[in-house]
Amino acid sequence: MQIRAYRPQDRSAKAGVFYRAVHEGAAPFYDAAQRAVWAPSPEPDWALPDRQLDQWCWVAEDHSGMTGFMSLDREGYLDMAFVLPEVMGKGVARALYGALLAEARASGLTRLTVRASHLARRFFERQGWQVDSFDPYPVDGQVFDTFLMSLDLGAMPTDAEAGP
């Protein structure tokens, strides 16, 4: 597995990872109608700008191509975090998260926030994030159970401080 910076030519692969992560990985938590609104197509919406180009975004890939991606805006909002269903629990999200955390610290951010799905909430809680509130989120006639979460970087030890 390799972690690298996102590039404009990654947009189609990113859309495919996002689509599969939502429709397959999140299926136990969200019904078909919700998943259809959340990720309507495995293709990018070329009419919209690629917002990851204005964020710090990392891609995980292996011999078969992109297996996940994670992005952070300049204010510390973790915008997207998705991996393919077949690599869930295999360290891909954790590797992407490590790159994100290093960039956040290097950039002087002191607090990170996210609107997390049920599935993402579990991952972030294992990384030390706290749930600040439950927040039902309406989109196109569907209501998604989401969790507003935060991480105080000042209270977290760095990898060197945390030890092995």
Does residue 163 have a pLDDT over 70? no
Query: Count of domains in the chain?
Result: 1
Residue 70: domain span = 2-162
pLDDT (tens digit per residue) in 130-152 = 999 999 999 999 999 999 999 99
151: exposed, middle or buried (C-beta count within 10 Å: 0-12, 13-18, 19+)?
buried
Report the C-alpha gap between 101 and 109 in whole angstroms.
10
CATH value at residue 145:
3.40.630.30
CA dihedral of residues 104, 107, 113, 115 (deg, nearest 10): -70
pLDDT (tens digit per residue) in 20-75 = 999 999 999 999 999 999 999 999 999 999 999 999 999 999 999 999 999 999 99
Taking the model in full, what pTM does it have? 0.91
pLDDT (tens digit per residue) in 38-50 = 999 999 999 999 9
